[in-house]
Structures are given as C-alpha cells and as structure tokens.
Amino acid sequence: MKSIILLLFLSLSLVISGQSVPGSTGYEITEMDIMNPSPHLLRTKSANAYGIIGTPYVFEDFKQGNIFYSNKLRVDGKLLNYDCYNDRWEYSSGNSVYLLNSSKIDYFEIFPGQDRTMLFKQIFVEKLKKHVFLQVLHNENSTLYKRYFKEFKEADYGGAYSQDRRYDEYHDRHSYYLKTADNELQMLKSKKKSALEIMEDKSDELEKYIKKEKPDLKTDDGLVQLIRFYDSLE
C-alpha cells in the first residue's frame, strides 16, 4: 500500500505551478513607495529598438507580482519584469519603467498566467561570485533552482569569415542549481551523471528510478520529478 501511495504521489501532474513564499504570512503588506528613497527612471515605454532580435527580459511583457523584503514588509500587485541579462528587476508604472533596488529583497512572486506562479529568491552563488535571483522549482528537503540568463550576440555580416548574422540578438539560456539537505548549493547539469554525483547517497535508487520512469532531465518537469522522488527516500 505504501508503494502504491508513493507512485500515485509521483504521478501527479508535474506542471510547474510555482512555489509559495516560505513564511509568507509573516510579512506585513505595505503601500510604501517601492522606489524609496529615490526613484531611478530607466526610460519611458516605447517600441523595441530596430535591429535587435529578442529582449533581455524573462517575460515578454511586465507581469503582476508581489515583492517580499528582508525586513518582513511586502508590496503587492505591481507590474514587474526581470532583466536577466543585467540581473536586475524593473517596475512599470504608467508610461515609465523604473529600476528596483533589489539588495534588500528576498523574493519576487510573479503571476505569468492564469493559475500559475513563479517564485524568485535572491541567492549568493559561489560559482558566480555574486547574488542572483533564481526561480524556485522545488522546495522540500531539497531545493531546486533555475537561473535565467541571456547571451548577447552582435550582428556579424561583413567580411569573408562573417556568420551572416544581420541583427543583434539575445539568446535564451538557463542553468540549474540544487541544494540537498546534506550539501551546499551545487550546479546541476541536465544529465543523469550530474544528478547521481550530487545525490550520491541515494544513487542506486535514483538510477533504478531513472531507468524505469525515464524522466526527461532536460526539462523542469523531469528534474522536479527526480528531486521529488529523491526527497521521498529521506
């Protein structure tokens, strides 16, 4: 019976609907000016610049979201977007876009679509030597994060060895990080070998599970499925 319950649990829909903010009830909602102490105007809204494909943002449009500060205050219902090329959050108000001072922010809770939530937490990543905002994909005994970033390639269409790239382009990139109960944050490659090395204490069980269930480790859902199974073994 126990094994049946476990299989039912693991077979639930793996659509990533987001993670709730840990201890969110401990935050006090405030209407404070989120640009305090001084607004930093980035630009007024306009059409996309000619000659560039893609954007530095995670989302095509600014999305409704909530902000959770380290002093336990929160601001709800703002239009936000993450410029992951410059690693900064921006706030849209009227016809203007402002830069948020994110140094004292713990979480961003974003609502990109109906019944879907994305939670971003500010984490110091040793490999990058800086704080970055990572999406929380799974948060139980272990925590699985996803980092969004962009690669910018300039137009290159002149000369004998050019790549005939007629436009400047932003290319979407991402990576994963895993923190288990017994280990520090580590980069997790979308491969079986990387997963088994990080979760070596249960590598035999994981290898059997991968062989039987065949989770797609190149996707968010597949990695969450594997980490969820790993946590169930604790």
pLDDT by residue for the chain (234 residues), tens only, comes to 444 444 444 444 334 446 777 766 788 888 767 765 456 778 776 545 456 888 999 999 999 999 999 999 999 999 999 999 999 999 998 888 999 988 889 999 999 988 899 999 999 999 899 999 999 999 999 999 999 999 988 765 555 555 555 677 899 999 999 999 988 999 999 999 999 999 999 999 999 999 999 999 999 999 999 999 999 997
Looking at this protein, which amino acid is placed at residue 215? P
Q: Which residue segment(s) compose the domain that 117 sits in?
A: 16-188
33 in the same domain as 128: yes
Residue 2 lies in a domain: no
206 in the same domain as 125: no
Residue 228 lies in a domain: yes
pTM recorded for the entire structure? 0.83
Write phi, then psi, for 177 (nearest 5 degrees).
-135, 140
Smallest Cα–Cα separation from 165: which of 56, 85, 51?
Answer: 51
* Domain termination residue (choose one: 154, 173, 188): 188
122 in the same domain as 165: yes
Handedness of CA 19, 20, 22, 28 (dihedral sign): positive
Residue 51 lies in a domain: yes
Cis peptide upstream of residue 39 (ω within 30 degrees of 0): no
159 in the same domain as 76: yes
**How far is residue 115's CA from residue 17's CA, in Å, rounded to a whole number?**
7
**How far is residue 232's CA from residue 228's CA, in Å, rounded to a whole number?**
6
**How far is residue 177's CA from residue 163's CA, in Å, rounded to a whole number?**
33
Residues 129-163 pLDDT 10s:
999 999 999 999 999 999 999 998 876 555 555 55
Residue 5 lies in a domain: no
Q: How many CB atoms lie within 10 A of CB 57?
A: 19
Average pLDDT along the chain: 84
196 in the same domain as 183: no
What proportion of the chain, given as a percentage, has pLDDT over 70? 81
pLDDT at position 1: 46
Q: Structurally, how many domains does the chain consist of?
A: 2
